[in-house]
Amino acid sequence: MALVEIRDIHKKFGRVDVLKGVSLDVEEGEIVTIIGRSGSGKSTLLRCINALETVDAGEIRVEGERVHARMRDLKQFRQRVGIVFQAFNLFPHLKVERNITLAPLLTGRTDKTKARALAEDVLASVGLADKIDAWPEQLSGGQQQRVAIARCLAMAPHLMLFDEVTSALDPELVGEVLKVMEAMARQGMTMILVTHEMGFARNVADRIVFMHQGRVWEQGPPAKLFANPETPELASFIASAK
Amino acid sequence: MRSFSLIDLASLVAALRWTVVLVVLALAFGAPLALGLAMGRISRFASLRWAMAAIIQIIQSVPLLGLLFFFYFGMPVFLGIQVPAIIAVTVAYTLYTAAFLGEIWRGGLEAVKQAQWEAGSCLGLSLWQQFRHIIAPQALRLSLPPTVGFLVQLIKGTSLASILGFVELARAGQVVSAATFQPLLTYALVAAIYFALCLPLTLWSRSLEARLDGSR
């Protein structure tokens, strides 16, 4: 059984068909990168997996459990599925430590005596152990994004979703975030990423999914997809992304 | 006629107690109600949002004096209930406080980005936990200056209770002025006392603002 099973999902925003029958399986430990032009439905697909959006038709299952916004254990589900956003969304009124420990403490994953150690641990894994007492706005964009990743890791998720996490960063800060994600990939984390970083997609992903007009247009291993795109849409997308 | 003495000053200061009592009552009942109104105004249920907006609109449109008259003189006429003055003023000031603070706090809550709710919910927090730990602290800091501004207005607004017989600071000023024929001195003192009451509030709000804004 795949960790994530997506079966023919449809999603409309008003009259706009954003997803027109998307099916996709993601195995445990797999790194799947979703690419495509703006408006192709990539981010919406990602948000549906986390029940941030409700699908109009079709079905999503994560670890066998059907995902929808009214699922009874949505809170527990969200603890198992981490998501990192383009805009970091750190809590500006809390220091880095508290940003990380707030959810583990409130959901009972850890207690006060162990919380600081947990924060130190996940911060070390993103290379920011020395920033534990900093305020978010004292950090660079790349550092904030790494704290956001650490905040997710503190919940020990089974699956991580990344929604264009480097798009808001200055070019010189992109590398540090990608490096953290590469390390997570090596450790076997199941990851689904929406990204414009073609180099990352090519080098780290197990599979590339190219979305076009609300559908999975083409998918396969990066080497094959980048070298021999089967559809003219993907060929032109790869050419424009270079 | 007698000259202005320390006794007159003492009676002014003593009258402050009604001012304070009225403010405390208004806040004690009005603030929780304001929080309810503010949360109703940002609810995902449209009917609740409309209902809260209507309540706030109606109360805000009526002069405070009108509210006081309505609950003291109007209730016996419309409902046949004779309401003790203290109840009537408490209800009037409570509604007044709830409507204005509710709208101030709604603004503060809405000024916190939607993505902050989303980030909290994606970490598995309940709606209440998101509100309590993520949204409310940020909204509080944003709302603090206008909240204190309203509090200062409320303190001065308690002077209207004098028409229902409460000898609070402003009414005591009238009494002393009439007895001593020294209106200028008396009212200058009344003003000074109001000022002394409101200034620390403003200073306190500034220091609190700086403290809550720890990141800067």
From first to last of the 216 residues of chain B, give the pLDDT tens digit. Answer: 678 888 888 888 888 888 899 999 999 999 999 999 999 999 889 999 999 999 999 999 999 999 999 999 988 888 888 888 889 999 999 999 999 999 999 999 999 999 999 999 999 999 999 999 999 999 988 898 899 989 999 998 998 988 888 888 889 998 999 889 989 999 999 999 999 999 998 888 888 777 776 444
| ipTM value | 0.89
Task: For A179-204, give one letter per residue: b (16+ CB within 10 A) or e.
Answer: ebbeebbeeebbbbbbbbbbebbeeb
| Contact between residue B93 and residue B22 where contact means Cβ atoms under 8 Å apart | yes
pLDDT in tens, chain A (242 residues): 889 999 999 999 988 999 999 999 999 999 999 999 988 999 999 999 999 999 999 999 999 889 887 888 888 999 999 999 999 999 999 999 999 999 999 999 999 999 999 999 999 989 999 999 999 999 999 999 999 999 999 999 999 999 999 888 888 888 888 888 988 888 889 999 999 888 888 888 999 999 999 999 999 999 899 888 999 999 999 888 76
B191 is written with which tokens?
Answer: 């003003």
Closest CB from A76, A102, A155 relative to B133? A102
B118 reaches A (C-beta below 8 A): yes
Please give the structure tokens belonging to residue B13.
């200061």
Helix H or strand E encompassing B53:
helix B46-61
Residue A16 identity:
V
Backbone angles phi, psi at A16, to 5 degrees: -90, 125
| CA geometry: angle B1, B5, B9, nearest 5 deg | 115
The pTM (predicted TM-score) of the whole model is 0.83
A54 Cα distance to chain centroid = 17
Nearest residue of chain B to residue A138 (CA atoms): B215
| Contact list, B141 vs chain A (CB under 8 Å) | 93
Exposed / middle / buried, residue A47 (Cβ in 10 Å: 0-12, 13-18, 19+): buried
Taking the CB of residue B79, how many other CB atoms lie within 10 A of it?
A: 9
Contact (Cβ atoms closer than 8 angstroms) between residue A159 and residue A65: no
Hey, is the C-beta of A52 within 8 angstroms of any chain B C-beta?
yes
Three-class DSSP category at B154: helix
What distance in Å separates the CA atoms of residue A152 and residue B123, rounded to the nearest whole number?
Answer: 7
Partner-chain contact B115 A87, CB within 8 Å? yes
Chain A to chain B, count of Cβ pairs less than 8 Å apart?
65
Q: Closest chain A residue to B139 measured between Cα atoms?
A: A93
Torsion of the alpha carbons at B16, B22, B23 and B25, rounded to the nearest 10: 140
Do A75 and A107 touch, CB atoms closer than 8 A?
Answer: yes
Closest CB to B122: pick one of A50, A102, A136: A50
CA distance B56 to chain A (A): 30
Measure A101 CA to nearest chain B CA, in Å: 11
In contact, A74 and A134? CB cutoff 8 Å: no
Is B127 an interface residue toward A (CB < 8 Å)?
Answer: no
Q: Which two tokens stand for residue A222?
A: 């990066």
Whether residue A89 lies within 8 A of chain B, CB to CB, comes out as yes
Q: What residues in B contact A155, CB-CB < 8 Å?
A: 123-124
**A70 touches B at CB < 8 Å:** no
**Cα torsion through A192, A194, A198, A204, rounded to 10:** -10
What is the least distance, in Å, from the CA of B32 to any CA of chain A? Answer: 24
Q: Can you read off the two tokens belonging to residue B122?
A: 């994606």
Would an 8 Å CB–CB cutoff place B211 in contact with chain A? no
Of B115, B121, B215, nearest to A85 by CB-CB distance is: B115
CB contact under 8 A, A103 and B138: no
Note whether B179 contacts A: Cβ–Cβ < 8 A.
no
What are the phi and psi torsion angles at A30 (to 5°)?
Answer: -85, 150
Please tell me if residue A54 touches chain B, with a CB cutoff of 8 Å: no
Which residues touch B21 (CB under 8 Å, ≥6 apart)?
A: none
- What is the distance between the alpha carbons of residues A78 and A72, in angstroms, rounded to a whole number? 12
Contact residues for A125 (Cβ-Cβ < 8 A; gap 6+): A150, A153, A180, A183
Chain A nearest C-alpha distance from B113 (Å) = 9
